[in-house]
Amino acid sequence: MRLPDLTPDRLDEQQRALRERIVGGPRGSGPQHFPLTTPDGALTGPFGVMLHEPALGAPLQELGSAVRYATGLTDRVREVAILAVAAATGSAF
């Protein structure tokens, strides 16, 4: 089953607040390796999924943001950590 994309006009108050934290924070203003939104305003990747359940999506977004933007890890060290976890868990991606 594929979850439908949630465009801004279909969001409730909690979803709208989470969307604004995602696109209004460093993720939305910093360098992006893939588009954060589709042309109709839906969030892409895991961020769009997070909107379906804001009570879970908000803490996940905060954790990801903290790891990426609020630590002393260099980009290289962070990527090595990501690859080490991927290897340890057998990730094929």
pLDDT score of 68? 87
* pLDDT of 33: 84
* Mean of all residue pLDDT scores within the chain: 93
User: How many residues would you count in the chain?
Assistant: 93
At 32, is the pLDDT very low, low, confident or very high (cuts 50, 70, 90)?
confident
CA separation, residue 4 to residues 11, 44, 45, 79 (Å): 12, 11, 12, 30
pTM of the complete model:
0.82
